[in-house]
Amino acid sequence: MAVQFEVNGKPVSVEVEPRLTLADCLRHHLRLTGTHVGCEHGVCGACTVIVNGDAVRSCLMLAVQAEGAKVTTVEGLSNDADLTPLQKSFRKHHALQCGFCTPGMITTAHALLSEEPDCDADRVREVLSGNICRCTGYIGIVEAVLDARSAYKKAPAP
């Protein structure tokens, strides 16, 4: 089936089988391999992308369901010039080790902070409960997200 949607601000058109998940479509058809695939059944959160402003698990969405949607992946949350405030905060707080879960953490945190720049530590923990990290113990990640709040209060990060 032909499907058209927007990824990181650019229109894309792909020919896919209905059973292809959005995650696999992003990685295999569009070569956006920043989106990581962990459990492939909606438990680990590694594949989180932002669809029409909402954080969603791209392994629990079919590519054909993305018709007409605006999709933002982790690639869309960075730029070549400099680290974004969220990226800087993750580095400062050692919020990653192996990095496998990091794209999902970044996309989830970006969606949260864009909507709730005043969220507290409890809310950050609640939201990140859907993202599994096996390295860090989460403390650095929670601190990084909290520390990045200031950047989202002034103007939305890229």
Partner 1 sequence: MKMPAFEYACPETLAEAVALLASHDGEAKPIAGGQSLLPMMAFRVAQPTLLVDLRKLAELRGIRISSDGVRLGALVRWRDIQDDARLATAHPLLADAIKHVAHYQVRNRGTVGGSMAHADPASEMPGVAVTCDAEIAVRGKSGTRTIKAADFFLGALTTALAPDEIITEVRLPAWPANRRHGFQEFARRRGDFAMSGVALFYDLDAGGKAANAHVGVIGVGDHPKRLAAVEAVVNGQTVDEATIAKAVAAASAAVEPPDDIHASAAYRKALTGTLVERALRSAAA
* Interface with partner 1 (CB under 8 A): 1, 17-21, 24, 40-42, 45, 48, 54-57, 59-62, 64-65, 67, 108, 112, 126-127, 129-130
Identity of the residue, 120 or 126, whose beta carbon is nearer to partner 1 in the bound complex: 126
Q: Does residue 38 contact residue 28 with C-beta atoms inside 8 Å?
A: no
Q: Does residue 117 contact residue 153 with C-beta atoms inside 8 Å?
A: yes
| C-beta neighbour count of 89 within 10 angstroms | 23
Residue 30 C-beta: closest distance to partner 1, Å: 16
Pairing of strands 54-57, 70-72: unpaired
Residue 98 C-beta: closest distance to partner 1, Å: 20
Name residue, tokens 């507290």: 120
Identity of the residue, 34 or 130, whose beta carbon is nearer to partner 1 in the bound complex: 130
Identity of the residue, 67 or 82, whose beta carbon is nearer to partner 1 in the bound complex: 67
> What does the DSSP 8-state code read for residue 157?
-
Residue 157 C-beta: closest distance to partner 1, Å: 19
